[in-house]
Amino acid sequence: MISKPNKFIKMQTIKEITTDTIIEEEKPLVKWKRSDALAKAQKKYYEANKDKLVKEQIKYNYNYVRQKFKCECGDEIKISAKYLHLRSDRHARRLKHIENGTDPNLRKCDTKYACECGSKIFHRNKKQHEKSKKHQDYLQENLLEIPKKCIEIPKNIIHYHNGVRVI
């Protein structure tokens, strides 16, 4: 609140009637209204000092954009991108990895796994590996080892999951 009365700023008030009492109370609004005299004075000041104000604003913007923010997830980002980063999936995933005690940069596609055919591949290359000749040959060899006494199942019912036959 302003302690001294200001001739340029007028405070708008509203009347509120409480249900307990019949007395009307005036409460100030949160927003202050700028008088015409103040608006004219500010405009006059801006026009007189326009070059100086514009240079200061450019300098501030240049420095603000270059500021860096060190996030708790380990990323170093520009301060102007902080709001979006804190709400991103990357930030949440990295915090989850830190809580679990694993590397925050770890992603599933960067981890290796051992295929049944003997290859060690990244998760991101799984589909490409399943189409490879080595993997297809391995599947064909395993299909031949199935006893022929089994009842034949139509081909449209046989499914493969991770290189293993699922019926």
For the segment 104-154, what is each residue's pLDDT rounded down to a tens digit? 777 766 778 788 888 888 878 888 888 888 888 888 887 755 444 444 545
163: left (phi over 0), alpha (psi -120 to 50) or beta: left
Q: What is the pTM of this model?
A: 0.39
Q: Domains of the chain: which residue ranges?
A: 10-62, 64-108, 111-166
